[in-house]
Amino acid sequence: MDEADAVPIADLLDERRYLLDVAYWMLGGAEEAERVVDEVYRRWYGLSDEARRRIVRPRYWLAKTAGRSCLSRLAGTGRSDGGPERECLLKTLDVLSPPERAAFVLGDLFGTAPEKVADIVERDGPEYAELAERARESVRTQRARQVAPREQDAVVRAVGRACREGDAELLASLLCAQATAFVDGGGKIRAPDRPVHGGRQVARTLLTLLARRPRTTLSAQSVNGRTGLVVRYERRVAAVICLDVADHRVAHVWVILNPDKLRSWNQPPDPLPAGGWVGERRDPPGPDSHNTVLPSTPERPPTTNTTGSGFSPS
Protein backbone atom coordinates (compact mmCIF):
# COMPACT_ATOMS: atom_id res chain seq x y z
CA MET A 1 0.00 0.00 0.00
CA ASP A 2 1.28 3.42 -0.98
CA GLU A 3 1.59 5.99 1.83
CA ALA A 4 -0.95 8.14 -0.04
CA ASP A 5 -3.48 5.29 0.30
CA ALA A 6 -3.39 5.33 4.10
CA VAL A 7 -6.60 6.50 5.79
CA PRO A 8 -7.27 7.00 9.52
CA ILE A 9 -8.78 3.88 11.09
CA ALA A 10 -11.72 5.87 12.49
CA ASP A 11 -12.56 7.11 8.97
CA LEU A 12 -12.39 3.59 7.58
CA LEU A 13 -14.73 2.24 10.26
CA ASP A 14 -17.11 5.15 9.81
CA GLU A 15 -17.14 4.55 6.05
CA ARG A 16 -18.00 0.86 6.47
CA ARG A 17 -20.70 1.61 9.04
CA TYR A 18 -22.26 4.15 6.68
CA LEU A 19 -22.36 1.59 3.84
CA LEU A 20 -23.88 -1.02 6.17
CA ASP A 21 -26.57 1.45 7.29
CA VAL A 22 -27.46 2.31 3.70
CA ALA A 23 -27.59 -1.35 2.64
CA TYR A 24 -29.64 -2.31 5.71
CA TRP A 25 -32.33 0.27 5.04
CA MET A 26 -32.35 -0.59 1.35
CA LEU A 27 -32.66 -4.35 1.86
CA GLY A 28 -34.08 -4.78 5.37
CA GLY A 29 -31.66 -7.44 6.64
CA ALA A 30 -28.31 -7.23 8.41
CA GLU A 31 -26.84 -10.34 6.77
CA GLU A 32 -27.81 -9.17 3.31
CA ALA A 33 -26.32 -5.75 4.06
CA GLU A 34 -23.04 -7.38 5.09
CA ARG A 35 -22.94 -9.32 1.83
CA VAL A 36 -23.50 -6.16 -0.21
CA VAL A 37 -20.74 -4.24 1.58
CA ASP A 38 -18.32 -7.13 1.24
CA GLU A 39 -19.09 -7.22 -2.48
CA VAL A 40 -18.53 -3.46 -2.75
CA TYR A 41 -15.07 -3.72 -1.23
CA ARG A 42 -14.24 -6.69 -3.46
CA ARG A 43 -15.09 -4.53 -6.46
CA TRP A 44 -12.94 -1.70 -5.09
CA TYR A 45 -9.91 -3.92 -4.69
CA GLY A 46 -10.64 -5.50 -8.06
CA LEU A 47 -9.80 -2.15 -9.67
CA SER A 48 -6.28 -1.46 -10.81
CA ASP A 49 -4.14 0.91 -8.74
CA GLU A 50 -4.42 3.47 -11.53
CA ALA A 51 -8.22 3.17 -11.66
CA ARG A 52 -8.49 3.69 -7.89
CA ARG A 53 -6.26 6.76 -8.05
CA ARG A 54 -8.57 8.30 -10.65
CA ILE A 55 -11.52 8.10 -8.22
CA VAL A 56 -11.55 11.52 -6.56
CA ARG A 57 -14.17 10.66 -3.91
CA PRO A 58 -13.82 7.01 -2.89
CA ARG A 59 -16.68 7.17 -0.37
CA TYR A 60 -19.10 8.33 -3.05
CA TRP A 61 -17.89 5.57 -5.40
CA LEU A 62 -18.46 2.99 -2.66
CA ALA A 63 -21.93 4.37 -1.81
CA LYS A 64 -22.89 4.45 -5.49
CA THR A 65 -21.73 0.87 -5.97
CA ALA A 66 -23.60 -0.24 -2.83
CA GLY A 67 -26.76 1.54 -3.94
CA ARG A 68 -26.74 -0.06 -7.36
CA SER A 69 -26.00 -3.48 -5.89
CA CYS A 70 -29.01 -3.06 -3.57
CA LEU A 71 -31.19 -2.00 -6.51
CA SER A 72 -30.15 -5.16 -8.37
CA ARG A 73 -31.03 -7.36 -5.40
CA LEU A 74 -34.37 -5.62 -4.84
CA ALA A 75 -35.27 -6.07 -8.49
CA GLY A 76 -34.66 -9.78 -8.04
CA THR A 77 -36.48 -10.29 -4.72
CA GLY A 78 -39.15 -7.60 -4.92
CA ARG A 79 -39.17 -6.91 -1.18
CA SER A 80 -37.13 -6.83 2.02
CA ASP A 81 -37.15 -9.34 4.87
CA GLY A 82 -36.32 -7.14 7.83
CA GLY A 83 -36.49 -8.20 11.44
CA PRO A 84 -39.41 -7.27 13.71
CA GLU A 85 -37.57 -4.53 15.60
CA ARG A 86 -37.61 -2.21 12.57
CA GLU A 87 -40.63 -3.73 10.88
CA CYS A 88 -42.61 -0.48 11.02
CA LEU A 89 -40.46 1.52 8.62
CA LEU A 90 -39.28 -1.47 6.60
CA LYS A 91 -42.88 -2.45 5.85
CA THR A 92 -43.47 1.09 4.71
CA LEU A 93 -40.46 0.92 2.41
CA ASP A 94 -41.73 -2.34 0.93
CA VAL A 95 -44.48 -0.48 -0.94
CA LEU A 96 -41.84 1.46 -2.90
CA SER A 97 -40.28 0.38 -6.16
CA PRO A 98 -36.50 -0.23 -5.95
CA PRO A 99 -35.62 3.21 -7.45
CA GLU A 100 -38.14 4.94 -5.13
CA ARG A 101 -36.70 3.10 -2.14
CA ALA A 102 -33.18 4.16 -3.11
CA ALA A 103 -34.32 7.78 -3.49
CA PHE A 104 -35.98 7.78 -0.07
CA VAL A 105 -33.25 5.90 1.82
CA LEU A 106 -30.30 7.75 0.31
CA GLY A 107 -31.91 11.17 -0.06
CA ASP A 108 -34.25 11.47 2.93
CA LEU A 109 -32.76 9.14 5.54
CA PHE A 110 -29.07 9.73 4.81
CA GLY A 111 -29.14 13.22 3.30
CA THR A 112 -27.22 12.33 0.14
CA ALA A 113 -27.14 15.20 -2.36
CA PRO A 114 -29.97 14.91 -4.94
CA GLU A 115 -27.60 14.92 -7.91
CA LYS A 116 -25.68 11.99 -6.43
CA VAL A 117 -28.83 9.95 -5.79
CA ALA A 118 -30.05 10.77 -9.30
CA ASP A 119 -26.80 9.34 -10.64
CA ILE A 120 -27.18 6.14 -8.59
CA VAL A 121 -30.78 5.53 -9.75
CA GLU A 122 -29.88 6.70 -13.27
CA ARG A 123 -32.45 9.48 -13.59
CA ASP A 124 -32.02 13.04 -14.79
CA GLY A 125 -32.87 15.99 -12.52
CA PRO A 126 -36.63 16.38 -13.21
CA GLU A 127 -37.20 12.61 -13.34
CA TYR A 128 -35.40 12.15 -10.03
CA ALA A 129 -37.39 14.97 -8.37
CA GLU A 130 -40.63 13.29 -9.46
CA LEU A 131 -39.39 9.89 -8.31
CA ALA A 132 -38.35 11.22 -4.89
CA GLU A 133 -41.66 13.04 -4.34
CA ARG A 134 -43.61 9.92 -5.33
CA ALA A 135 -41.61 7.93 -2.77
CA ARG A 136 -42.30 10.49 -0.03
CA GLU A 137 -46.02 10.52 -0.80
CA SER A 138 -46.18 6.71 -0.55
CA VAL A 139 -44.29 6.77 2.77
CA ARG A 140 -46.60 9.50 4.13
CA THR A 141 -49.68 7.47 3.20
CA GLN A 142 -48.39 4.24 4.71
CA ARG A 143 -47.20 5.83 7.96
CA ALA A 144 -50.57 7.49 8.51
CA ARG A 145 -52.28 4.07 8.43
CA GLN A 146 -50.04 2.30 10.90
CA VAL A 147 -51.50 3.31 14.26
CA ALA A 148 -54.80 4.57 15.64
CA PRO A 149 -54.83 8.33 16.35
CA ARG A 150 -55.69 7.78 20.04
CA GLU A 151 -52.68 5.48 20.54
CA GLN A 152 -50.40 7.89 18.67
CA ASP A 153 -51.59 10.78 20.81
CA ALA A 154 -51.16 8.93 24.12
CA VAL A 155 -47.65 7.70 23.34
CA VAL A 156 -46.44 11.05 22.01
CA ARG A 157 -47.75 12.93 25.06
CA ALA A 158 -46.01 10.43 27.35
CA VAL A 159 -42.76 10.99 25.45
CA GLY A 160 -43.24 14.74 25.83
CA ARG A 161 -43.68 14.40 29.60
CA ALA A 162 -40.57 12.25 29.91
CA CYS A 163 -38.54 14.76 27.90
CA ARG A 164 -39.75 17.73 29.96
CA GLU A 165 -38.95 15.92 33.21
CA GLY A 166 -35.57 14.70 31.92
CA ASP A 167 -36.53 11.15 32.89
CA ALA A 168 -34.18 8.91 30.88
CA GLU A 169 -35.58 5.63 32.24
CA LEU A 170 -39.18 6.57 31.50
CA LEU A 171 -38.27 7.81 28.04
CA ALA A 172 -36.32 4.64 27.22
CA SER A 173 -39.30 2.54 28.34
CA LEU A 174 -41.47 4.33 25.78
CA LEU A 175 -39.08 3.50 22.93
CA CYS A 176 -38.61 0.18 21.12
CA ALA A 177 -35.33 -1.49 22.04
CA GLN A 178 -34.15 -0.99 18.44
CA ALA A 179 -35.67 2.47 17.93
CA THR A 180 -33.98 4.76 15.41
CA ALA A 181 -33.79 8.55 15.36
CA PHE A 182 -33.15 10.66 12.27
CA VAL A 183 -32.09 14.28 12.80
CA ASP A 184 -32.44 16.66 9.85
CA GLY A 185 -30.36 19.81 10.17
CA GLY A 186 -30.21 20.32 6.42
CA GLY A 187 -26.53 21.19 6.68
CA LYS A 188 -27.60 24.54 8.14
CA ILE A 189 -27.42 23.73 11.82
CA ARG A 190 -25.05 21.50 13.78
CA ALA A 191 -26.84 18.18 14.28
CA PRO A 192 -26.12 14.43 14.13
CA ASP A 193 -25.53 13.60 10.47
CA ARG A 194 -26.38 9.91 10.67
CA PRO A 195 -29.19 7.84 12.22
CA VAL A 196 -29.02 7.05 15.95
CA HIS A 197 -29.83 3.39 16.69
CA GLY A 198 -31.04 1.78 19.91
CA GLY A 199 -33.70 2.84 22.39
CA ARG A 200 -31.35 4.07 25.10
CA GLN A 201 -29.13 5.90 22.60
CA VAL A 202 -32.19 7.58 21.08
CA ALA A 203 -33.42 8.55 24.56
CA ARG A 204 -30.05 10.16 25.36
CA THR A 205 -30.07 12.01 22.04
CA LEU A 206 -33.57 13.38 22.65
CA LEU A 207 -32.77 14.46 26.21
CA THR A 208 -29.61 16.20 24.99
CA LEU A 209 -31.44 18.01 22.19
CA LEU A 210 -34.32 18.92 24.48
CA ALA A 211 -32.28 19.86 27.56
CA ARG A 212 -34.18 22.26 29.80
CA ARG A 213 -33.30 25.86 28.95
CA PRO A 214 -34.92 29.24 29.70
CA ARG A 215 -37.44 30.55 27.14
CA THR A 216 -37.86 27.06 25.65
CA THR A 217 -41.20 25.23 25.50
CA LEU A 218 -42.29 21.78 24.34
CA SER A 219 -45.85 21.03 23.24
CA ALA A 220 -47.89 18.29 21.61
CA GLN A 221 -49.41 19.47 18.35
CA SER A 222 -50.72 18.26 15.01
CA VAL A 223 -47.84 17.53 12.63
CA ASN A 224 -48.77 16.29 9.16
CA GLY A 225 -52.11 15.11 10.49
CA ARG A 226 -50.77 13.18 13.51
CA THR A 227 -49.78 14.17 17.02
CA GLY A 228 -46.14 15.23 17.18
CA LEU A 229 -43.95 17.46 19.35
CA VAL A 230 -43.01 21.07 18.69
CA VAL A 231 -40.13 22.89 20.38
CA ARG A 232 -40.22 26.68 20.60
CA TYR A 233 -37.40 28.98 21.59
CA GLU A 234 -38.47 32.54 22.37
CA ARG A 235 -41.83 31.72 20.76
CA ARG A 236 -40.30 30.70 17.43
CA VAL A 237 -40.47 27.07 16.33
CA ALA A 238 -36.98 25.61 16.63
CA ALA A 239 -37.77 21.93 16.02
CA VAL A 240 -40.60 19.66 14.94
CA ILE A 241 -40.50 16.04 16.09
CA CYS A 242 -42.51 13.28 14.42
CA LEU A 243 -42.77 9.83 15.97
CA ASP A 244 -43.73 6.50 14.40
CA VAL A 245 -45.53 4.29 16.93
CA ALA A 246 -45.71 0.49 16.74
CA ASP A 247 -47.08 -1.82 19.46
CA HIS A 248 -47.55 1.09 21.90
CA ARG A 249 -43.92 2.22 21.68
CA VAL A 250 -41.95 4.59 19.50
CA ALA A 251 -40.11 2.85 16.67
CA HIS A 252 -38.75 5.89 14.81
CA VAL A 253 -38.14 9.51 15.72
CA TRP A 254 -37.73 12.24 13.10
CA VAL A 255 -36.31 15.52 14.42
CA ILE A 256 -36.56 18.43 11.99
CA LEU A 257 -34.12 21.25 12.77
CA ASN A 258 -33.65 22.38 9.16
CA PRO A 259 -34.64 26.09 9.11
CA ASP A 260 -35.97 25.78 5.54
CA LYS A 261 -38.45 23.10 6.58
CA LEU A 262 -39.53 25.10 9.64
CA ARG A 263 -40.18 28.31 7.73
CA SER A 264 -43.95 27.74 7.40
CA TRP A 265 -44.23 27.32 11.18
CA ASN A 266 -42.73 30.74 11.75
CA GLN A 267 -44.79 32.68 9.23
CA PRO A 268 -47.80 34.77 10.28
CA PRO A 269 -51.04 32.79 9.89
CA ASP A 270 -52.96 33.20 6.64
CA PRO A 271 -55.89 35.64 6.64
CA LEU A 272 -58.91 34.06 8.30
CA PRO A 273 -61.24 32.56 5.64
CA ALA A 274 -64.98 32.96 5.95
CA GLY A 275 -66.19 30.59 8.64
CA GLY A 276 -62.63 29.55 9.48
CA TRP A 277 -60.94 29.13 12.84
CA VAL A 278 -58.81 31.76 14.45
CA GLY A 279 -55.22 30.58 14.28
CA GLU A 280 -55.93 27.93 11.64
CA ARG A 281 -52.77 27.18 9.73
CA ARG A 282 -51.12 24.72 7.41
CA ASP A 283 -49.29 21.73 8.74
CA PRO A 284 -45.54 22.25 8.26
CA PRO A 285 -43.30 19.76 6.50
CA GLY A 286 -42.35 16.63 8.40
CA PRO A 287 -39.46 14.24 7.92
CA ASP A 288 -41.14 12.74 4.91
CA SER A 289 -41.77 16.04 3.13
CA HIS A 290 -38.11 16.75 2.31
CA ASN A 291 -37.77 20.26 0.89
CA THR A 292 -41.39 20.57 -0.24
CA VAL A 293 -43.98 22.36 1.89
CA LEU A 294 -47.07 20.16 1.89
CA PRO A 295 -50.21 22.16 2.70
CA SER A 296 -53.05 20.44 4.48
CA THR A 297 -56.19 21.91 5.95
CA PRO A 298 -57.00 20.70 9.46
CA GLU A 299 -60.61 19.96 10.30
CA ARG A 300 -60.21 21.83 13.56
CA PRO A 301 -57.58 24.22 14.86
CA PRO A 302 -54.40 22.46 16.08
CA THR A 303 -53.90 22.52 19.82
CA THR A 304 -50.92 24.48 21.06
CA ASN A 305 -49.15 23.86 24.38
CA THR A 306 -51.50 21.01 25.22
CA THR A 307 -48.96 19.19 27.35
CA GLY A 308 -48.31 21.98 29.79
CA SER A 309 -46.13 25.01 29.86
CA GLY A 310 -43.06 23.24 28.44
CA PHE A 311 -39.56 23.52 29.79
CA SER A 312 -40.14 26.99 31.15
CA PRO A 313 -43.11 29.36 31.39
CA SER A 314 -43.95 30.85 28.02
Return the closest-CA partner of residue 103 out of 118, 125, 82.
Answer: 118
How many residues would you count in the chain?
314
Q: Rounded mean pLDDT of 237-241? A: 94
CATH of the domain spanning 149-266, picked from 3.20.190.10, 3.30.1330.20, 3.10.450.50, 3.40.630.30: 3.10.450.50
For Cα atoms 50, 52, 56, give the angle at the middle one, nearest 5 degrees. Answer: 115
Q: What is the pLDDT of residues 106-132, one digit of tens each?
A: 887 777 788 888 888 888 888 888 888
* Ramachandran area for residue 275 (φ above 0: left; ψ -120 to 50: alpha; else beta): left
Q: Name the more confident of 298 and 163.
A: 163
**Of 299, 302, 165, which Cα lies nearest the Cα of 228?**
302
Provide the pLDDT for residue 273. 45
Structural fold of domain 3-144? Butyryl-CoA Dehydrogenase, subunit A; domain 3 (1.20.140)
Contacts of 272 (CB under 8 A, 6+ apart): 278, 280
CATH 3.10.450.50 residue ranges of the chain are 149-266
Per-residue pLDDT tens over the stretch 147-205? 788 999 999 999 999 999 999 999 999 998 888 888 888 777 877 777 788 899 999 99
Find out whether 215 and 169 touch, Cβ atoms under 8 Å. no
At residue 81, what are phi and psi to the nearest 5 degrees?
-135, 55
* CA distance from start to end of the chain: 61
- pTM given for the model: 0.54
The HSE-up count of residue 212 (CA atoms within 13 Å, CB side) is 13
φ, ψ of residue 209 in degrees (nearest 5): -65, -35
pLDDT of residue 140: 64
203 close to 247: Cβ distance less than 8 angstroms: no
Residue with more model confidence, 91 or 33: 33
